[in-house]
Structure formats: structure tokens, C-alpha cells
Chains A and B, each alone.
Chain A
Amino acid sequence: SAVISQKPSRDICQRGTSLTIQCQVDSQVTMMFWYRQQPGQSLTLIATANQGSEATYESGFVIDKFPISRPNLTFSTLTVSNMSPEDSSIYLCSVDRGGETQYFGPGTRLLVL
């Protein structure tokens, strides 16, 4: 398994501001994934973060709104920029350690007022 931590665990933010979410893994991984889970919904992939290259974004998600950094093999950040109430969601990072099982962090619960 993998031990994944996320910071912050939750936050309440004002619209128009930005929040950076951190994801730390206990071992080196090639790929990290960022998902969004809107209230009462399932998970939707935002982007794939590969160390040393630009993140790959899914349709409907853009770098200006969700910039991602991947400075090394154990860490990534996702920023939610210029937030609006529609950004209120749980944001989760996950990793695949080269096998098939994906492990998820505990999530960051964001409420935008």
C-alpha cells in the first residue's frame, strides 16, 4: 500500500481567492492523479501529474484554473484559482506505485462562500 497525506484536510474560502492543496506520498511514484468530487457525486479526473513534465488535463479542466506542480517523485500540489462556489468539492490525489491498485489520499474538503 501507500501512505498519502493531503493538506489542508478542509478549508472554507472566499470567492475570488486561491487555495493550494498539497499531496505527499511516502515513497517515490511516477504518476500522481488529481480528482474532484462534487457534492453527492462521483470522482472526476482533473489531471495527471508526471514528474518532470507538464500535467495533462482532462476535458473541462484548464491549467489557468487548476495549476499543478510536481517538483519531485513524492510530492505534488494542486491550486484551485479564482474560486467560486461551484468549486466547492472534495479534492483527492491518488498514486499508482507501478502496480495496478491506486491509492487515494484522505481528500481536501473545500467550501467556497
Chain B
Amino acid sequence: SQQGEEDPQALSIQEGENATMNCSYKTSINNLQWYRQNSGRGLVHLILIRSNEREKHSGRLRVTLDTSKKSSSLLITASRAADTASYFCATDPYSGNTPLVFGKGTRLSVIA
């Protein structure tokens, strides 16, 4: 069953602006992962943040995790048209070799 809820469900921004997507989950986790999906294709892994971490960066991506609020956010800075995609958070309640539980996703449109 789906555990995560992303908001907003859809986001439209101008190129160069920052995009922030939020994810909430219900149960305790070992880690939380963010994925990108372009046009109904496969998922590309973006970043993993463990339950004992609060913030993580990768290029233009910044992820935060607040386990007390059971929430995470993904910030994409200086967005580009190529960032247009659906973004999903997924939680892992254990430590590997277990299936992920996905949120509903945010559809991001970056307008050039």
C-alpha cells in the first residue's frame, strides 16, 4: 500500500526558478529515496537519505528529512526544462533487500 503523500501533485514553474516538492509518510523508516520518471519511462534514482541524516545535497538537488514529522522535501535549484518529469519519494522501512513504498508523486513542469 502507498505510504507517502507528495505535495503538490502538480507544479509548474519558469526555467531558472527553484522547485520544492514535499513528501510525508506514515511509519518509521530506515531511509527515504527520491526518484525521477520521464514520460512514463523507468525510474531514475536521484538521492537517498538515511533516517539519521537531516539534509543531503547532490548537484542542484537538496533533500531534507524530518523524522519527527515524518516528512521530506526535495528542492531543485535553478530548474531547467529538462527537469520536467514526475518525482516520487519512496520509503524503505528496513535496510535493503525489501520493496519500497512509493508516494503518489509530483508532476513538475519547467517552462522555458
Contact = CB atoms under 8 A, between A and B. Distances in A.
Contacts of B82: none
Nearest to B101: A45
Interface in A33-58: 33, 37, 41-45, 48
Contacts of A99: 96
A94 B35 CA distance: 13
A42 B30 CA distance: 21
Contacts of B68: none
A100 B42 contact: no
B48 interface: yes
B78 interface: no
Contacts of B52: none
Interface stretch (B11-19, B53-61, B69-77, B102-110): B102-110
Nearest to B103: A42
Contacts of A44: 2, 102
A43 B4 CA distance: 11
Contacts of A92: 42-43
B2 A106 contact: no
B48 A104 contact: no
Interface in B80-112: 88, 90, 92, 95-105
